[in-house]
Amino acid sequence: METYNKKLVVITGASSGFGMELAKEFANAGYPLLLLARRIEKMEAMNLPNTICKKVDVVEKEIFEEAIKEAESKFGKTDLLINNAGVMLLGDLASQDAQEWKKMLDVNVIGVMNGMQIVMDDMKERKSGTIINVSSIAGIQPFGNHAAYCASKFGVTGLTRVARGEMAPHNVRVLSVLPGAVKTELLGHTTDQNIIDGYNDWKESVGAVNITAKDIAQTIKFAYEMPQAVSLREIVITDTMQDA
């Protein structure tokens, strides 16, 4: 196994949005990377150095774990796992297709739990490591047409808090980042055009259009690069003009 100056960073949902910007930020800083998403061509097109790209659905734990083990055999143990993969399917609770609820809960919650479980024992044994879960401001407060999405992101916030308590005695950090409205592809998953239009109108009305995915990525990198003894437990980050 080759020796690298920096430790392995694993990023899920790395084919767009926050994940893609995270990949660029960490690659530019010289970290070896494992990038995971369902659209492998988007990740490979970035052509980042010391990077392995794998087509992985985080719900499929065995494939997820195989990808991490392969990267670790080349780059060493995972020092940072960023559970970023997520879907946002907005809809009215009374009429939304239950399959959309299931998809969000599977990817946004079970996928995060899968990732944590894959790396936790190694991190506990080494008494070092960081897990950062990308939740949402919708993981601490309600929004209209966000019922199932809020349920999934409140779940991420809660499970991150529990995992933090379990891992703190082992000197392992478990952090959550809770972004507000940011321009990414995430809204494109929603199937109700009226809800999409309403959401975009809301963003425009409050002026929440200037914050970028790169801002979120830089914040996450900052939290990770603080000393291991420093835990920025929960970071709520929004556009300055977003007041809700």
Give me the CATH number covering residue 161.
Answer: 3.40.50.720
Is residue 73 situated within a structural domain? Answer: yes
187 has pLDDT over 70: no
pLDDT in tens, 106-116: 999 999 999 99
What span, in angstroms and rounded, lies between the C-alpha atoms of 9 and 48?
13
pLDDT in tens, 155-168: 999 999 999 999 99
What span, in angstroms and rounded, lies between the C-alpha atoms of 110 and 101?
13
Q: Which residue shows structure tokens 């790209």?
A: 53
> What's the confidence (pLDDT) of residue 196?
60
> What's the confidence (pLDDT) of residue 191?
61
**φ, ψ at 240 (rounded to 5°):** -55, -35
- Which is it for strands 78-83 and 130-134: parallel, antiparallel or unpaired? parallel
The tally of domains found in the chain comes to 1
* Pair 9, 32: CB distance under 8 Å: yes
Is residue 3 situated within a structural domain? Answer: no
> What's the confidence (pLDDT) of residue 243?
81
- Which is it for strands 51-55 and 78-83: parallel, antiparallel or unpaired? unpaired
Is residue 242 situated within a structural domain? Answer: no
Helices first, then strands: H and E counts in the chain: 8, 7
In this prediction the pTM is 0.92
> Which residue numbers are catalytic?
149
Token pair recorded at residue 168: 């703190």
What span, in angstroms and rounded, lies between the C-alpha atoms of 40 and 53?
7
pLDDT in tens, 114-130: 999 999 999 999 999 99
Is residue 99 situated within a structural domain? Answer: yes
pLDDT in tens, 139-154: 999 999 999 999 999 9
What is the span of the domain harbouring residue 116? 8-237
Residue 3 Cα to chain centre, angstroms? 27
What span, in angstroms and rounded, lies between the C-alpha atoms of 235 and 216?
10
What span, in angstroms and rounded, lies between the C-alpha atoms of 61 and 82?
16
State the pLDDT confidence band at 81, using cuts at 50, 70 and 90.
Answer: very high
Q: Residue 36 in 3-state DSSP? A: strand
Token pair recorded at residue 106: 């599977």
208 has pLDDT over 60: no
* Pair 87, 107: CB distance under 8 Å: yes
Q: Which residue shows structure tokens 């999409």?
A: 196
What span, in angstroms and rounded, lies between the C-alpha atoms of 31 and 49?
9
